[in-house]
Amino acid sequence: MNQKMITTKSTFNTKYQNPAGYSIDFDVLQEFESCLDPLSPQSCQIPCRVLGYGEISTVFEIDVEKMEGLAFKRMSIFEEPQEMGEYLGTYIEYNRALEEDVGVHLPSHGYAAFVNETGRPIFYIIQRKLPAPSIGSKALHLLDRTDIVILFQCVLRELSKVWRFNCQHDRCEMGIDGQISNWVIDDFNPQDPCLDEDVCLLYVDTSTPMMRINGVEQMDMELLLRAAPSFLAWILRLIFMQDVVDRYYDFRLVVIDLLANFYKEQKTELIPDLIIITNDFFAGEAADLEVEPIHEDEVRAYYREDAFIWSLYLSARRLDRFLHHNVLRREYPYILPGKIKR
């Protein structure tokens, strides 16, 4: 993909990179942002649909001409254009490194960066919209046991590319969130849900570009706390922040998180076998990475703690949104999901 930025004339230093093979109406995207209500996003005058929620982003489908076939991941965590510009540089390099240096496949993608009518910098990641059944967490419920194992093994192989890269490069270290919902099966046919050993997986969650150069985080991780309730931010920074970030640079912990996804997806019965497959992979194909075996009680404990923390965190964000709107009378720029089954 051509990585050259297209800069349009604007008093807001607008930046836009066209996703490969697509032509979007940038003015419509800005109009969409101007009429978007974070409290009720689907009531926007421009027809849209929420495709998914992240901790710091919301993914939209915008149902207008020149927006077909695309997914728009909206991020509103920035307070100054300079912050967004620094993030953009890291985002571009992270995507490039994943594709060109590590060998992980990404969907075609671009971005749009501008300042909205309230003065808040807004960043949209623009990706090719992928069929919902092809998303790993959805495909699990269509595949039989044998094909789920193939999918899981393919994810392990993709993740091992990251740590082989890290082992070979002293200066640059890459992190990744390997959970099953971040992987998409390319050319998946839900009418004939079976997988070959050489299935191609696409990695879709590059909105948190985790990359360290000489041990220094290239993304300002304080940005991740922007969406946190103000009354919790200090304790999250003090107790959890570094631990949460570090886990995405640890192959073993990333795989524990991946295994814990099977509790969330109600596929608990598969976990013992998947742990055996994981440990065989660590001892065989990935023996050079020297990863210690994983035990089922670790995965169970991790899932329980993780589910509790994120449920509590989302409840606190809902309270924070209420306080912003009803007490402080201030803008709350983040879009929150409904009840999440964990």
Instruction: Centre a 10 Å sphere on the Cβ of residue 73 and count the other Cβ atoms it contains.
Output: 23
Please report whether residue 54 resides in a domain: yes
Per-residue model confidence as pLDDT tens for the chain (342 residues): 333 333 333 334 567 677 766 778 888 999 999 999 888 888 889 999 999 887 788 999 999 988 988 999 999 999 999 999 999 999 999 999 999 999 999 999 999 999 988 889 999 999 989 999 999 999 999 999 999 999 999 999 999 999 999 999 989 999 999 999 999 999 999 999 989 888 999 999 999 999 999 999 999 988 888 877 777 777 777 777 788 889 999 999 999 999 999 999 999 999 999 999 999 999 999 999 999 999 999 999 999 877 767 677 677 777 877 777 777 777 777 777 765 555
Q: Residue 85: what pLDDT?
A: 92
Is there a domain that residue 146 lies in?
A: no
Residue 112: beta bridge partners?
A: 16, 124
As given in the structure block, the two tokens for residue 131 are 């069929």
Q: Supply the pLDDT for residue 54.
A: 79
Task: Give domain status of residue 228, yes or no.
Answer: no
SS3 (DSSP) at 289: helix
| pLDDT score recorded for residue 8 | 32
Nearest to 77 by CA among 63, 91, 62: 91
Q: How far apart are CA 336 and CA 290, in angstroms?
A: 40
Number of domains in the chain: 1
Question: Does residue 164 lie within any of the structural domains?
Answer: no
Residue with tokens 């990359």: 211
What is the residue type of 72?
F
- The answer to whether residue 289 sits within a structural domain is no
Look at residues 212, 286, 279 and name the one whose alpha carbon lies nearest to residue 248. Answer: 212
Which residues, 6+ apart, have CB-to-CB distance to 328 below 8 Å?
Answer: none
Q: Which of 143, 173, 176 is nearest to 159 (CA)?
A: 176
Residue 89 within any structural domain of the chain: yes
Residue 52: inside a domain: yes
Q: What is the pLDDT of residue 342?
A: 54
For 35, the domain range is 6-128
Q: Residue 123 is part of a domain; what is its CATH number?
A: 3.30.200
Residue whose pair of structure tokens reads 């607008």 in the numeric block? 14
In a domain, 310, yes or no: no
Using CB atoms within 10 Å of the CB of residue 156, give its burial: 0 to 12 exposed, 13 to 18 middle, 19+ buried: buried
β partners of residue 73: 59, 125
- Give me the pLDDT at residue 50, please: 92
Q: Strand pairing of 121-128 and 70-75?
A: antiparallel
